[in-house]
Amino acid sequence: MSDYTPPKVWEPKESGGKFASINRPVAGSTHEKTLPVGKHPFQLYSLATPNGVKATVMLEELLALGKDAEYDAWLIKIGDGDQFGSGFVEVNPNSKIPALMDHSADKPIRVFESGSILLHLAEKFGAFVPTDPAKRVETMSWLFWQMGSAPYLGGGFGHFYAYAPEKIEYAIDRFTMEAKRQLDVLDRRLAESRYLGGDEYTIADIATWSWYGQLALGRLYEAAEFLDVESYENVQRWAKEIDARPAVQRGRMVNRTFGEPETQLHERHGASDFDTKTQDKIGD
């Protein structure tokens, strides 16, 4: 039993844990840093977290369809505080990855929040979002379900299970309960439908797979056994089907700084980079 009593007015203090160095109670930039700009229509500033993977998978899927969605993907090292640079804050005032600049129009457009990036690209290219009104609404519902649910998985379960400086039974139990409930929500939906929006692969699947699909495949928090992810058979079927898509496999590699060197493409500036610039080929 903790003897902690919250003060009348909270004051910031060192919290400990993996991300303590980048946690702060105020917004805005901490230093001046101009973002690089490449030659392609889309400039992505990101890291291969689940939220970052959404954007790179979407761009790779669009390219696989033959769309003019070429992009430069610049690495943002959130552990080093790159997201607090002045240039990044201009693109995303919330200082979170991914952030996108769309230079394909007469005037560049900033797009932040991963769901907004997916929707912007889907509408721009007329892909991965249904045109049928009922299917579109279903897809949007699942997209926004993911956006609202993932903080419980990442900031809740993932934080207290994997990153908090001490194991707090109440917090782990609370967010494990919610993580499993969410997996059950998905499993029930996928028992009746091939994909979340229906029979089409959409931005709802891209967004949700990046979090829950990778969780089901044992890639998040080393928690697969703890959460008994194998028991969610419909989620497993769906996760493995999406994981086998070549564009998804490429998207997972972009801005990736962990795992086997051959799976890491720190920055992407052209399709040939997957063959020539992974870390096993260029080293540090």
| Domain CATH for 30 | 3.40.30.10
Question: What are the structure tokens assigned to 240, written together?
Answer: 């493995």
CA distance 124 to 244: 26
Domain shared by 29 and 116, yes or no: yes
pLDDT in tens, 238-284: 999 999 999 999 999 999 999 999 999 999 999 999 999 999 999 76
Contact criterion met (CB below 8 Å) for 207 and 114: yes
- Is the residue at 195 inside a domain? yes
Residues 140 and 40 in one domain: no
State residue 220's pLDDT score: 97
Query: Could you give the number of structural domains in the chain?
Result: 2
pLDDT tens, 54-106?
A: 999 999 999 999 999 999 999 999 999 999 999 999 999 999 999 999 999 88
Q: How is residue 255 written in tokens?
A: 């801005």
Spatial distance between the Cα atoms of 85 and 106, rounded to a whole number of angstroms:
26
Q: Which domain holds residue 64?
A: 13-128+254-284
User: Are residue 118 and residue 162 in the same domain, yes or no?
Assistant: no
Q: What's the pTM value of the predicted model, to 2 decimals? A: 0.96
Closest residue by Cα to residue 141 from 204, 49, 222, 229? 204
* 172, 95: one domain: no
Instruction: Tell me: do 120 and 142 sit in the same domain.
Output: no
Question: What φ, ψ does residue 31 adopt, rounded to 5°?
Answer: -160, 160
In a domain, 276, yes or no: yes
The verdict on 259 and 232 lying in the same domain is no
User: Is residue 7, in this structure, part of any structural domain at all?
Assistant: no
